[in-house]
A and B are shown apart, each in its own frame.
Chain A
């Protein structure tokens, strides 16, 4: 497998994992544009090996998994679980949360493992806003008077 294919496959697995964690579909996650940035953040903060371990564990799960195996294999795992949960929060908020103390004591991590907004783009891409038909505060405004009506695309 050449390098480009490897990177594509890696991002592909990362997006599938992200779909399972966030409850948003693949198209939505791709449209945010921040998927590659988040994978790079994992590589940077948790290490490439740590990110690979997470992706590897996910790729062993059958596509038919209803979440049960995701919990058993990843979310309940002392090493992988906290990373997966941090990644979920990152997708929803655009903010990296410092890994739990116990995890930090047991695993390698970079100096970037502090609470921080990954980038302006990550803030704007937070899924929490789309979940409620809103928009990130200070950006992507829906236009004058739109707030007088319920938002489109969210069930009342």
Chain B
């Protein structure tokens, strides 16, 4: 065992949460070691470009296609869900459809970039609606950190669009960059449906096609300087990561933004104070070691691998921050058999089970251009119905029917092989159909339930001897009712716009499905894992306090969406980042800044 020198803080995971924490701590002069299980390849332009080439030549081009799995740090792939033959050992009864990526930069390498704040009511679900849990802190306490996270990630939006369902902003604040322009299709859809009513049960809301805050470079406000591609070399050389260009409309946020106009964790790492930072990639944490006398973490055992095999090391710090992902954090804690309550860790696993709705607009709206999406419908994210069923939001795609049906390739195949079209007639058919395609993702809230959990399956070990995660997952009636309501609202929206709904007609790709209320709901995961090591106010039913500090081991922290008691309907990365900054500031206060 090779034992490292003493760092101030050891961070496990170089995704957004770990990278943002490392940046804050090093800026305060604290010495930080970051262990990354996957490769460091995305940190140079050359390495990143290889991932882009991998995407170009990938057959199928799924959400992970630019980021292939690594034998020593395996990862789930959404394509595994169909035959349950991937990294997750799925015990059902329902299929957990989400994935994540183990590489320097983490899953932000292929996230969409939707950066919504949670609603004030999302933090108070138990008090307000009698379901789920309350957070140990509220919106007002997190608001300053949301602002810091929006600067760190480089969020583009206009405050004037974002003050709904009680979301408030500090006086005079606006986002670091102006909103990303709405797509032509968004504008056409908005002209047709804005202000129109939709009804679920006794609740009526007025629709609005609304720009959402995006982690994509747009027009900077004031003195803000957008961050672009990173190019960090082992000899310490790096190009100025400040040279960030605007989004060019590559229509590939997922799986890879070719120009890095979209945020990823590697940008925060590149901007950390390098003299206080050491990043060790291809280093898989396998065990948290506890001092039996003090109960403090004394080190983290990890295995560093290359093409020749691996060596075993122990990383030493004063504090330890697990930022490896909701599933990997829980896996590491369970694999270490430490003092964390075994009836809480790994439980309350959440996602946003998501339905697609797709159809043909009455006129050409020219999709397959622009960022993958630029607008959403946020009007049903909150409301009195939440005591009865889940809330939801829609994301409006700019990529036609690619996600639900595999178009444009699938359409071409259908027209050529089945409908025997060729020549001008083929071209006209392709143009006429693809140009009118509209798609929405209906992302539905899920509450944390103890039966939905991650456990370890020691029958399956990866090459480094780490067990694979097993998933136990059932979508509750609360969420299923929300899925039905979301489907109903999508139908009403399409009717207002004159969109011919194809969601229930053939030709869709395979997706997991669940039966409810006489309907077959075909859903997919959003990659929004949550709840596996949740925060609370009591050690009896939570893993962490409001600083994301472990109740049992006071120098152990776990960050990321695993800490969330509820997820509301927000894509979690912005809240992950805000909470990471808050915890970093807590650590700096504990240790004292050295600058």
Contact = CB atoms under 8 A, between A and B. Distances in A.
Interface stretch (B8-16, B135-143, B418-426, B443-451): B418-426
A146 B248 CA distance: 8
A146 B259 CA distance: 16
Contacts of B291: none
Contacts of B426: 22-23, 88
B248 A132 contact: no
A10 interface: no
Contact of B427 (A24, A139, A151): A24
B184 A154 contact: no
B59 A115 contact: yes
A26 B227 CA distance: 43
Interface in A63-93: 67, 70, 75, 84-85, 88-89, 92-93
Nearest to B430: A131
A150 B367 CA distance: 9
B66 to A, nearest CB: 8
A150 B366 contact: yes
Give the secondary structure class of B's interface.
loop
Interface stretch (B48-56, B92-100, B307-315, B527-535): B48-56
Interface string A38-56: 0000000000000000000
Given A137-B368, A151-B369, A128 B409 contact: yes
A110 to B, nearest CB: 17
A147 B398 contact: yes
Contacts of B431: 131-132, 154
Contacts of A92: 408, 412, 416, 430
A88 B414 CA distance: 12
Interface residues of B, number: 55
Contacts of B434: 128, 131-132, 134
A112 B542 CA distance: 55
B370 A138 contact: no
Contact of A147 (B184, B252, B411, B420): B184
B519 interface: no
A116 interface: yes
Given A138-B52, A144-B247, A95 B369 contact: no
B435 interface: yes
A154 B105 CA distance: 39
Contact of B425 (A23, A127, A141, A149): A23
Interface in A93-142: 93, 95, 97, 115-117, 119-120, 123-124, 126-129, 131-135, 137-139, 141-142
Given A129-B368, A149-B184, 10 more contacts: A21-B423, A22-B423, A23-B427, A24-B427, A97-B417, A131-B431, A134-B251, A138-B250, A147-B183, A148-B181
